[in-house]
Chains A and B, each alone.
Chain A
Amino acid sequence: EAGVTQFPSHSVIEKGQTVTLRCDPISGHDNLYWYRRVMGKEIKFLLHFVKESKQDESGMPNNRFLAERTGGTYSTLKVQPAELEDSGVYFCASSHGDNQPQHFGDGTRLSIL
């Protein structure tokens, strides 16, 4: 089966611009998660979708981040406006059930200049 796909693999933008990251989960996986790893730190949870609903968004850092999953398939994570501290690797993961192991994508490396 195809794995979790993330696009783009790398994005370089200037402070104040907008960036949208995309995640395509494994087909049939209702649960989709976003995580972020800032350089030198641990991977941190951002939010969890079950189908198109936000189950848990306790990890979203602030209102500059907006995640959507229209139709319960792919998800987007928009950062607007981007700040320097948003740089890092953004991972997406999906799972069939909520108590099943999560499968991760390659990540999107976001660099804010």
Chain B
Amino acid sequence: AQSVSQHNHHVILSEAASLELGCNYSYGGTVNLFWYVQYPGQHLQLLLKYFSGDPLVKGIKGFEAEFIKSKFSFNLRKPSVQWSDTAEYFCAVNALYSGAGSYQLTFGKGTKLSVIP
């Protein structure tokens, strides 16, 4: 079974600092990759996704992520964070062509980001 590792449980940054959240997955086949964000009191929202093509993916609110197949990684980045980015961030994977379970998402444990004004 596939697994997803998010390296940081809680990250605290000052506004304008750069952000990089690590994500590694274990499945060796074809994958779709996602980052979801959950702002306080809100539902999970899709931040960005990678299905195929350019491995550098741009999402909403200035976020981007880079898929590095050789490293099984999909790290999330933002050059300058804002207080409003305070949220919990989840990396997720689905393992295509793995039978009936191809479309279930496997999530990492999440990273809480606190941005200090």
Chain A interface (Cβ < 8 Å from any Cβ of B): 3-4, 31, 33, 35, 41-45, 48, 55-56, 58-59, 91, 93, 95, 98-99, 101-107
Contacts and interface: CB of A to CB of B under 8 A. Distances in A.
Interface in B63-78: none
B34 A101 contact: yes
Interface of B: 4, 32, 34, 36, 42-46, 49, 51, 90, 92, 96, 100-110
Contacts of A106: 42-43
B63 to A, nearest CB: 15
Nearest to B41: A106
Given A99-B96, A101-B34, A42 B109 contact: yes
Nearest to A3: B43
B16 to A, nearest CB: 30
Contacts of B42: 106
B88 to A, nearest CB: 10
Contacts of A55: 100, 103
Given A55-B100, A58-B101, A42 B107 contact: yes
Given A101-B46, A104-B36, A106-B43, A59 B104 contact: yes
Nearest to B108: A42
A99 B100 contact: no
Lowest 4 A-B CB distances belong to which pairs? A104-B44, A45-B104, A43-B107, A56-B100
